[in-house]
Every structure is written in structure tokens, then in C-alpha cells.
């Protein structure tokens, strides 16, 4: 039996939802100081069907280690600056 898929899911505030072009997701293992940053267009974070609501965004956690605590931060930007 395969392990279930897990996602980090977030919902932008309704008053900003139509202005977001880019998300910057930063994460790290809570016990370390090394952050990984991912900056991608908002559509790169669209949720798979059945995972969340239409207004939500997702990040697939399948490459994360099981049983390890992570810290994450998501920043939305209306400026396209990849």
C-alpha cells in the first residue's frame, strides 16, 4: 500500500486573490537554518482535483522526510519577478 499524498495548502485573502502572479515558498527542517526557496508563477501551485477548494494553492510534500518537522513561509506577489 502506497503512503498517502500530502500537500501544503494555503488560501489567499479574497481581496488579493485576483492580483497574485507569483508565490515564494520557503521551507526548512525546523532543526536547521538552511532555507530552500521556490519562486514560481501562481499557476505552478494549482491543487490537484479533489485536494482543496478552487481558490486554494498547493505544494506537493512527497519529497519531504516522514516524521521530520518543517517550517514554511509563503509570500504572494503581484509583481512578476522570476
- Tally Cβ neighbours within 10 Å of residue 57: 23
CA distance 80 to 14: 20
pLDDT tens-digit readout, 29-81: 988 878 999 999 999 999 999 999 999 999 999 988 888 889 999 999 886 44
- Tally Cβ neighbours within 10 Å of residue 20: 16
Determine the pLDDT at residue 67: 82
**33 assigned to some structural domain:** yes
Domain residues for the domain of 29 are: 7-77
**2 assigned to some structural domain:** no
pLDDT tens-digit readout, 12-27: 998 888 889 999 999 9
Report if pTM > 0.85.
no
Determine the pLDDT at residue 44: 96
**13 assigned to some structural domain:** yes
**1 assigned to some structural domain:** no
**82 assigned to some structural domain:** no
**69 assigned to some structural domain:** yes
**32 assigned to some structural domain:** yes
Number of domains in the chain: 1
Determine the pLDDT at residue 79: 60
Residue 10 has pLDDT above 90, yes or no: yes
Amino acid at each position: 500500500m502506497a503512503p498517502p499524498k500530502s500537500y501544503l495548502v494555503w488560501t489567499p485573502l479574497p481581496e488579493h486573490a485576483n492580483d497574485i502572479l507569483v508565490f515564494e515558498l520557503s521551507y526548512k527542517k525546523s532543526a536547521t537554518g538552511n532555507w530552500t526557496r521556490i519562486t514560481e508563477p501562481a499557476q505552478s501551485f494549482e491543487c490537484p482535483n479533489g485536494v482543496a477548494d478552487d481558490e486554494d494553492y498547493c505544494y506537493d510534500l512527497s519529497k519531504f522526510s516522514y516524521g521530520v518537522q518543517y517550517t514554511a513561509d509563503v509570500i504572494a506577489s503581484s509583481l512578476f519577478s522570476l
